[in-house]
Structure 1
């Protein structure tokens, strides 16, 4: 858990689960996997469970942390909270009972806004009707290339107040992006020593589709060895658009 976050589109992080497994090329240089290895070596008790070395790594085995469920209740000031920056809430090894507990906490703390992001869109879609969806929960899927468009179709079936796409790390063009039912799009290049370069035309194409569809667009970073070194400007502008939540609240 962190009361502050360096991620441009959120304010804090909350990790009721930790650990994950690679499922697509966007996972190849996972920052969370590398960080978990360091946290294990430092003796952090939340990162002592190892994952499968073929798909995960030291300290990155999927683990639930019931004690972390109490953390949002202690935050008096409203926060925008990224849920599970070090895991995936809809991983097959996270019991549905624990997912329901996480959703109960989010419902109990309506002064916070929660951003949940997953690559397991199929499981998300299958169990969505078993969850209560308060208006302060935003649900998103990662879409690093056109091969992941099925995640968008699954997300569109979920009754979240806000549905969003995280096109980061962007690994290829996203033509004909299906934006029906999508309220927000984030895009960005990969960062770190093994960062794969992003083509500026890929970013422009996403931006132009969002403008045409009147979907808010957020450009996070160009990426590279140092994430912030390339800045965030796209054709001389900083794109910091956020979803309009007021229309969802009026509809509910």
Structure 2
């Protein structure tokens, strides 16, 4: 677990699993893969196996030892709903999150149908715990089925990560969605993000009463383009977050 994070919308990261495989265009220039593969073959390094899918059971209970409330991004270096992950291991992650209810956990996936199926098995037709936020990545308008899967999942809080935004989104059904994050791609091969794509998502959020967070414009370096959209920063969170720990609290 990293006790701090440079990600603007969270406080810390927790990676009981690392590594992944690509499933859509949003994965093409994956920052986690780029970082991990730098250390492939380095004896004793945590990423000695590069970006290969790796279970890390020794980390399963880490959040229980962290007594200060935090917002925690789960599996920033993987996808908790990868099809090769044993359901029993996912159960262990959720067991820890449910027990560590003084934290807020943010779980993000591109495997939206698998997440929907898992949450239905675990929580039935109700809603999951309010401190476990579940989200899906949507990089352009071809992936709106992920939004539908999320809306059909019994998550406590539902959010979208529209990052990297690599094409226009089009009209989204935001009923039941609590939060939307938008960001451009960063890194040496970053694809450009058109301002009108961002404004369209923002305007849809405002019309639907959904919290909107603009993370970055992207570029060669993550913060190169800044965070201003039409002259201001957009850093909204779901209302429930106001009753819990502030982001980047000490």
TM-score, normalization by structure 2: 0.92
Cα offset, 1:190, TM superposition: 0.3
**1:154 match: secondary structure:** helix
Query: Match of 1:127?
Result: 118
Contact 1:166 1:185 in 2 (8 A): yes
Q: Distance in 1 between matches of 2:171 and 2:192?
A: 22
Measured against aligned partners, the alpha-carbon deviations of 1:42-80 in whole angstroms (never above 9, x if no partner) come to 44543233xxxxxxxxx1111111100121111110000
Is residue 2:21 matched to residue 1:26? no
Corresponding residue of 1:74: 65
User: Which secondary structure state, in structure 2, belongs to the residue aligned with residue 122 of structure 1?
Assistant: helix
Q: Is the 8 A contact 2:18 2:52 kept in 1?
A: yes
Query: Which protein, 1 or 2, shows the higher relative CO under an 8 Å CA cutoff with sep ≥ 6?
Result: 2
Judge conservation of contact 2:19–2:54 (CA < 8 Å) in 1: yes
Task: Give yes or no for contact 1:106–1:134 (8 Å, CA) kept in 2.
Answer: no
For 1:138 and 1:79, the matched residues in 2 are separated by 13
Number of matched pairs: 240
Q: Which residue of 1 aligns with 2:247?
A: none
- Distance change (3 Å), C-alpha of 1:74 and 1:82: same
Q: Of the candidates 171, 182, 186, which is equivalent to residue 181 of structure 2? A: 186
Alignment match, 1:141? 136
- Per the alignment, residue 83 of structure 1 pairs with 74
Question: TM-score by structure 1 length?
Answer: 0.91
Q: Does 1:94 align with 2:107?
A: no
SS at match of 1:100: helix
Contact kept, 8 Å, 1:170 with 1:190, in 2: the verdict is yes
Say if 2:180 is the partner of 1:174: no
- Provide the C-alpha distance between the structure 2 equivalents of 1:47 and 1:228, rounded to a whole number of angstroms: 25
Q: CA RMSD in A?
A: 1.7
